[in-house]
Amino acid sequence: MAEVGIFVGTVYGNALLVAEEAQAILSEQGHQAVVFEDPELADWQHYRQHYALVVTSTTGQGDLPDSIVPLFQAIKDKLGYQPELHYGLVALGDSSYPQFCGGGKQFDALLQEQGAQRVGEVLTIDAGEHPEPETVANPWVEHWGTLLK
Ligand SMILES: Cc1cc2nc3c(=O)[nH]c(=O)nc-3n(C[C@H](O)[C@H](O)[C@H](O)COP(=O)(O)O)c2cc1C
């Protein structure tokens, strides 16, 4: 069973709700999952040998929420290459904005640049179509959890 750090970026709490449900699902599957609401680099470092699940919304014009910007910046400035990292990514957004899920996509692009290995595809959730994002996220997380070793 795996250790999973769930790293949340949220403005209004939707991504946090998704993260908390993900924690419950992964725990039921026998994994050890911890949610980080204001994640720091020190939290991230532990999960480089395990799994990271990034669950973030988008604000502004394709930007990451303030709650996760410090982590993003620290990973960018201080880590560089991290090919040992396995991660998953859930991006919340709204397709009525020009840069749909821009925050999550930025995070994915950074981790890809750093050589990290993504487990599964990026899940994008459109708030316009799915006002309750967990209804889309939960089945994705159930499947994602089966891919962890
Ligand atoms: C001021 C504002 C700006 C937003 N900008 C974007 C954006 O650029 N791209 C996008 O896909 N969604 C955008 N959204 C939509 C949110 O990402 C979406 O509603 C999400 O579900 C909010 O999740 P949260 O409660 O975790 O912050 C924006 C929402 C607000 C209120």
Mean pLDDT of all residues belonging to the chain: 98
Task: Provide the residue ranges of all domains of the chain, joining segments of one domain with +.
Answer: 5-9+16-60+67-95+103-129
The band of 20, judged by pLDDT with boundaries at 50, 70 and 90, is very high
End-to-end alpha-carbon separation of the chain, Å?
A: 6
Contact 89, 72 (CB under 8 A): no
Evaluate: CB of 102 within 6 angstroms of ligand 1: yes
| Mean pLDDT value across residues 50-54 | 98
Evaluate: CB of 56 within 6 angstroms of ligand 1: no
Give me ligand 1 centre to Cα 1, in Å: 34
Comparing 14 with 80, which gets the higher pLDDT? 14
Q: Where are the alpha helices (DSSP H) in 2-129?
A: 14-28, 41-47, 69-74, 102-113
Evaluate: CB of 88 within 6 angstroms of ligand 1: no
* Model pLDDT, residue 58: 98
Give me ligand 1 centre to Cα 62, in Å: 8
The band of 44, judged by pLDDT with boundaries at 50, 70 and 90, is very high
* Model pLDDT, residue 51: 98
* Distance between CA atoms of residues 141 and 120, nearest Å: 10
Evaluate: CB of 18 within 6 angstroms of ligand 1: no
* Model pLDDT, residue 62: 98
**Percent residues over pLDDT 90 in the chain:** 99
Could you tell me which CATH number the domain at 5-9+16-60+67-95+103-129 has? 3.40.50.360
Contact 101, 58 (CB under 8 A): yes
* Distance between CA atoms of residues 135 and 79, nearest Å: 34
* Model pLDDT, residue 112: 98
- Using a 10 angstrom Cβ sphere, with 0-12 exposed, 13-18 middle and 19 or more buried, the burial of residue 118 is middle
Q: Whose CA is nearest to atom 2 of ligand 1?
A: 59
| Mean pLDDT value across residues 18-25 | 98
User: Which atom of ligand 1 is nearest the CA belonging to 95?
Assistant: 11
The band of 120, judged by pLDDT with boundaries at 50, 70 and 90, is very high
* Model pLDDT, residue 72: 98
Evaluate: CB of 67 within 6 angstroms of ligand 1: no
Give me ligand 1 centre to Cα 28, in Å: 30
* Model pLDDT, residue 37: 98
